[in-house]
Amino acid sequence: MQFEKNHDGPIEHSLEIALETIEGLLHDRYTLSRRAVGLLLLQEDHEIQEMVKESQPTILDHIEKIISGVKATYAYPIEYEIALLRRDEVERIINRVVKVKEKEQGIAEKVSALMMNPIAGFPLLFLILYFGLYKFVGVFGAGTVVRYIEETLYDNHLNPLLVKMVAFIIPWRILQDLMVGEYGILTLGLRYAVALILPIVTFFFLVFSVIEDTGYLPRLAMLIDRTFKKIGLSGRAVIPMVLGFGCATMATLVTRTLPTKRERLIATMLLALAVPCSAQLGVILALLGGHPKAMVLWAGIIMMVFLFIGFLTARLLPGERPSFYIEIPPLRVPHLGNIFTKTYVRVKWYFLEILPLFLLASVLIWLGKLTRLFDFLIFLFTKPVAMIGLPKEAAKVFLFGFFRRDYGAAGLYDLNKDGLLTGDQLLVACVALTLFLPCIAQFLMNLKERGWKTGVGISLFTLLISFGIAFMVNLVLNKLGISL
Amino acid sequence: MDVTLKQAWLEQRNNPLSSAVPENTEGTHSRSKKIVIIGNPNVGKSVLFNNLTNNYVTVSNYPGTSVEVTSGFADINGERFEVIDTPGMYSLTPITEEERVGRKILIQGRSDIVLHVVDAKNLERMLAFTLQLIEAGLPVILVLNIMDEAQKAGIKIDFTLLEKLLGIPVVGTISTTKKGMDILKERIVGYAIRKKS
């Protein structure tokens, strides 16, 4: 049988030059062609380097110089560039050789297509958010369930019991305060962690696991790829963003999956600014549940900030539009076992992470109280808090938010429970707290992933934006005489 | 290069199981030609291997690893071929230990024919690897397996054009029903002769 031509490999110009130079250096006694060996060397394949080193020990230094020269001219790793070119080549061949006859679509394919089609996809997304997040996590989880656990079980039964027990065991007033005082380890730290955050996070991760297990996320990525491109991200960023609703710290780590530095920076920034974490989201949804208008305004404002800041950073940061390819796995009915395992693992991770921190917070506040540092810090916050029209008790919430987002959200819950906030103030507080500084954990993660300059920069920027926006919201509400 | 590897190959050749196989009377004393089967996991490599080899099979652990490599002999048109089934492999740039072993076999094994077995439904996902193999100058035959499912999914593949574009033989098979095996064997013999000349 006769064949027309041999395949030379799809390689772009300057890669081609480097490759040909390397090929020229190699002898032809390798089993693989010189071209293939050269390509693998370009991708810095360790085993191949060893192989060449053994056979031609003198040329490796030269080759390494060529490679570092090529690397400097490409934005992405050489491996990625080569993979892209190869994929193009495959596409060209496939387009000519393979024909797919349109088949009768099954129900799964139809639903899948609807999910990715903008006209049906966005309303569907809205429905998922409305029922999954708002109704289930917010109203039912953070509202009904938390109210039962927190008020009925904790406040009425457990707390009085704990107070009595501690008073009985520990005679000293100061230590009693540490355990069961206003900010006590048992009365505040443990209560926040177990009665507030744990149920909310459990409900959230339950919904998240169901959504994940159906295969909806890659489709969501396709759906909002176009919107995301406008803010300098691609559909790929959907995964870290959606995860950010679980815990922004974890999501910041996941931004590693984004291919360019620019995308990673934009994503980190948006995660710090405009993506509330699950505990925050749950508490906010529960609090605003009684004020539908405030709820819609809050969602609108956060969304606008998200898009606007993203759009702005995308303009300011130089770089190319990201490309996006994703494999769409088949849609399927979620598997109960999977959901249970995923939810369990995530909730466990989250809870074990916050519990010691929440308890530690009580100790820190206790120490702060003794040294008066706590009151001083609160005092620092009173001015800005007053400026955005909130009562001075809210200063505490922001200090808590500094420590951890979820801790701040829990503080806000308490504040509202005490009936200290009007509808307007609730909206302003929710906006400010959503946009507020990343918590310490996320801040550290930002430093680790993005470097200290960027990390600190992001924090200052978010602080400014959060109070700025909250200030404006308060101003507009007052001027227009709206009371929610 | 790898001494232990060479030993393993020698051992495999002197394996009591394989020497128990009756000698090919026409065969010279030169080594039998070697066919290496590679491809992603779950594309029917093993079934294809069994179809080719009439069950003269040895399974050996690859030296230094827990990765199993299966080998056996195939008699095609009176000629004896040694057939090696490698663990799953996605590309020439290995990530897993299994892939590393697969590549070692390719690099050090001096194969006479490389059968790249792919799932015809997912040709697009697997063709990049075929290109890599061709580029590496290996004697590749592309085997589009699971053709029945591809047909069911309404996928039509122009074999003649694909052969022309790639410059290598392309064969469609359904390894579970042995469909296309005769054509594959023909191509193997043809390719082996062509390579010789």
Contacts of B94 in chain A (CB under 8 A): 47
Q: What is the number of domains present in chain B?
A: 1
Contact A343, A137 (CB under 8 A): no
For chain A, what is the radius of gyration of the CA atoms? 28
- How far B22 CA sits from the closest chain A CA (Å)? 31
**Interchain pair B106, A32: CB under 8 A:** yes
A46 and A155 fall within a common domain: no
Query: Is A375 in CB contact (< 8 Å) with chain B?
Result: no
Which domain range does residue A337 map to? 115-479
Look at A28-42, A133-147, A206-220, B19-33 and tell me which has the smallest mean pLDDT: B19-33
Chain CA centroid to CA A459, Å: 16
CA angle A213, A219, A225 (to 5 degrees): 140
Asked if residue B75 lies in contact with residue B54, where contact means CB atoms within 8 angstroms, the answer is yes
Q: Does B110 touch chain A (CB under 8 A)?
A: yes
| pLDDT, tens only, A53-65 | 888 988 888 898 8
In this complex, is the C-beta atom of B20 within 8 Å of any C-beta atom belonging to chain A? no
Which chain B residue shows the shortest CA-CA distance from A40?
B93
Asked whether the whole model's pTM tops 0.80, one would answer: no
Question: Is the pLDDT score of A118 beyond 70?
Answer: yes
Give which of A2, A5, A81, A93 to mutate to test B binding, by max B Cβ within 10 Å: A93
Is the CB of residue A10 less than 8 Å away from at least one CB of chain B? yes
- Which is nearest to A303 in space by CA: A254, A251, A232, A231? A231
> Would you say residue B171 has pLDDT above 90?
yes
Cα–Cα distance for residue pair A379/A403, rounded to 1 Å: 16
Q: How many CB atoms lie within 10 A of CB A283?
A: 29
Task: Inform me whether the pLDDT recorded for A201 exceeds 60.
Answer: yes
Say if residue A198 is in the same domain as residue A308: yes
Order of strands, sheet of B140-145, starting from the edge strand that comes earlier in the sequence: B57-61, B68-76, B79-85, B33-38, B113-119, B140-145, B170-172
Shared domain for A358 and A469, answered yes or no, is yes
Q: What is the CATH number of the domain that holds A57?
A: 1.10.287.1770
Read off the pLDDT of residues A146-157 as tens digits, 9 standing for 90 and up: 888 888 888 888
Q: Can you say how many angstroms the Cα of residue A350 is from the centroid of all Cα atoms in its chain?
A: 14
Compare CB distances from A96 to B154, B161, B190 and report the shortest one's residue: B161
A32 neighbourhood in chain B, CB within 8 Å? 106-107, 136-138
- CA pair distance B91, B175, nearest whole angstrom: 22
Nearest-by-Cβ selection for A3 from B123, B124, B167: B167
Domain range for residue B129?
Answer: 3-8+30-196
User: What single-letter amino acid sits at A308?
Assistant: F
For the beta carbon of residue A75, count every other beta carbon within 10 angstroms.
Answer: 12
| 3-class DSSP string for A278-347 | HHHHHHHHHHHCCCHHHHHHHHHHHHHHHHHHHHHHHHHCCCCCCCCCCCCCCCCCCCHHHHHHHHHHHH
Ranges of beta strands (E only) in B44-139 are 57-61, 68-76, 79-85, 113-119
- Write the CATH number for B95: 3.40.50.300
Farthest CA pair distance, chain B: 49
Distance CA A260, CA A113 (A): 29
pLDDT at residue B79 greater than cutoff 70: yes
Task: Write down the pLDDT at residue B29.
Answer: 43
Residue among B131, B157, B194 whose CB faces A98 most closely: B157
Interface test with chain B among A42, A78, A90, A109, by most B beta carbons within 10 Å: A90
Please check whether residues A389 and A322 belong to one and the same domain. yes
Q: What mean pLDDT do residues B172-177 have?
A: 88
CA angle B131, B134, B135 (to 5 degrees): 85
d(CA A286, CA A410): 11
- Same domain, yes or no: A259 and A369: yes
Answer whether residue B20 is part of any domain.
Answer: no
pLDDT at position B140 is 94
Contact B156 A7 (CB under 8 A): no
Instruction: Quote the mean pLDDT of chain A.
Output: 83
Distance from CA of B125 to the nearest CA of A (A): 9
Specify whether A285 is located in the same domain as A423: yes
Give the DSSP H/E element, type plus range, for residue A166.
helix A159-169
**C-alpha to C-alpha distance for A429 and A437, rounded to whole angstroms:** 13
Q: Name the 3-class secondary structure at B190.
A: helix
Read off the pLDDT of residues A266-307 as tens digits, 9 standing for 90 and up: 888 888 888 888 778 888 888 887 788 888 889 899 989 888
Q: How many domains does chain A have?
A: 2
- Per the CB < 8 A criterion, the answer to whether A238 and A217 are in contact is yes
Phi, psi of B74 (to 5 degrees): -125, 135
Whether chain A has a CB inside 8 Å of the CB on B166: the answer is yes
| Cβ <8 Å between B155 and A5 | no
Q: What are the tens digits of pLDDT across the range A347-361?
A: 888 888 888 888 988
Q: Which of A97, A127, A148 is the last residue of a domain?
A: A97
CA-based end-to-end distance of chain B: 28
Partners of A51 on chain B (C-beta within 8 Å) are 1, 107
Q: Does residue A196 sit in the same domain as residue A50?
A: no
Shared-domain flag, residues A323 and A357: yes
B71 φ/ψ angles, rounded to the nearest 5 degrees: -140, 155
* 3-state SS assignment for residue A448: helix
Q: Is residue A260 part of a domain?
A: yes
Q: Is the predicted ipTM greater than 0.85, yes or no?
A: no
Is A1 within 8 Å of B169 when comparing Cβ atoms? yes
Q: In this structure, is residue B25 part of a structural domain? A: no
Report pLDDT for B133.
92
A482: helix, coil or strand? coil
More confident residue, A183 or A12: A183
Q: How far apart are CA A153 and CA A157, in angstroms?
A: 5
- Is A104 within a domain? no
Q: What is the pLDDT of residue B3?
A: 43
- The residue of chain A with its CA nearest to that of B190 is A1
Q: CB A87 to CB B107 under 8 A?
A: no
Flag whether B18 is in a domain.
no
CA–CA dist B79, B112 (Å, integer): 13
Put simply, whether B179 touches A (Cβ < 8 Å) is no
User: How far is B13 from B5, CA to CA, in rounded Å?
Assistant: 12
- pLDDT tens for each residue of A374-401: 888 888 888 888 888 888 888 888 888 8
CB contact (8 A) between residue A1 and residue B137: no
- Cβ separation of B157 and A97 shorter than 8 Å? yes
In a domain, B77, yes or no: yes
Interface test mutation site (partner A, options B106, B124, B140, B184, max chain A beta carbons within 10 A): B124
CB pairs under 8 A between A and B: 103
